[in-house]
Structure formats: structure tokens, C-alpha cells
Amino acid sequence: MKSLILAFSLMVGSYTFAQMAVVDAGANHQMAKQITQSAAQIKQLEKSYQLMKDAQDKYNKVNGYIQQMGQLQNIINLQKQAISNSNKILQKARAGKIDVSSIGTQLSQISGSIKTVQALLNNGMFKMSDSERITLLENEYNKVKSANAKLSVKLIKLSY
């Protein structure tokens, strides 16, 4: 009977695998170190992301200013053209003794537009919101375009 119990215990013992709990302090320390490094890397990544986001916002703002500078250049070009047309009208008027009092209104509009654009450039460009600045520039562009068109028509009439 002893041999039967012994054989039975050996047979059951060979099929059971007992495992002892093993704690590797070095591996646990290494894992904690990796977790700490990963957390620091995530914080650095968040800082980098925020820096890139701020840079993109500044780029978009500067890009908006550059586009508005293009519109300012268009206004200035129209103003120059209107002044040139006014000079040509004045020359034709002197030669033909023609009344040029009707171009005074257009010259006043252009002069007012020049003052507005100059004030915007000197102290108001960065104090205004984008929509206010765009609206102001569009209004000035339309005023100068209208005045220039009237001066061009007057110049064409005087040419014939």
C-alpha cells in the first residue's frame, strides 16, 4: 500500500507544476525608470506641440498681414494712377482752357484715402482685428477705384 501511495504521488506530482513567485527587483526598477522617462518625454512632446501650434498661429497672422500688405499695395497703385490721371487732365485743361473743378471731389476722396491708409500703417495696423482691417482696406480700395474710374472717364472725354 505504501508503494501504491508512493507511485500515485509520483504520478500526480509529475503532472502538477508548482511555480514559485519570483520578484525581480532589477526589472521592476528598470520598468519604473522607463515609465518615468516616458512621462517626461510626453511632457516634452506636449511642450513641442504647443510651441509648434503657437508658431503656426503667428505664421497665419503674419501671412494675413502680408496679404493685406498686397491689398495696401493695390490701393497705393490706384492712388498713383489717379494722381497721374489728374495731372494729365490738368495739363489738357491748361492747354484748352477747360474747367477742371469737377475733379476736385475725386482728388478729395483720394487724399482722404491716402490719409486713412497712412494712419493705418503708422499706428493702427496691429491694433485692429482682422475683420476690421479687411473691411477698412476694402472700403478704401473701393473709394480709390471709384475716384480713379471717374478721373479716367474725364481724361478720355478730354482726349476727344
Domain range annotation of the chain: 70-98+109-160
Contact 141, 74 (CB under 8 A): yes
For residues 119-143, average pLDDT: 76
Query: How far from the centroid of its chain's Cα atoms is residue 94's Cα?
Result: 50
Considering only residues 140 and 12, tell me which one the structure prediction assigns the higher pLDDT: 140
Measured distance CA(6)–CA(141) in Å, rounded: 107
Measured distance CA(148)–CA(150) in Å, rounded: 5
Which helix (H) or strand (E) is 155 found in, with range?
helix 130-159
For residue 59, what pLDDT is reported? 76
pLDDT of 18 over the 60 cut: no
**Contact residues for 112 (Cβ-Cβ < 8 A; gap 6+):** 143
For residue 125, what pLDDT is reported? 62
For residue 72, what pLDDT is reported? 78
Banded pLDDT at 13 (limits 50, 70, 90): low
For residues 81-95, average pLDDT: 81
For residues 25-32, average pLDDT: 80
Banded pLDDT at 17 (limits 50, 70, 90): low
What percent of the chain is predicted at pLDDT more than 90?
Answer: 0
Which residue pairs from 154-158 have beta carbons closer than 8 angstroms and sit at least 24 positions apart in sequence? 154/85, 154/89, 154/102, 154/103, 155/85, 155/88, 155/89, 155/92, 158/89, 158/92, 158/93, 158/96, 158/98
Q: Is the dihedral of CA 40, 43, 47, 53 positive or negative?
A: positive
For residue 124, what pLDDT is reported? 63
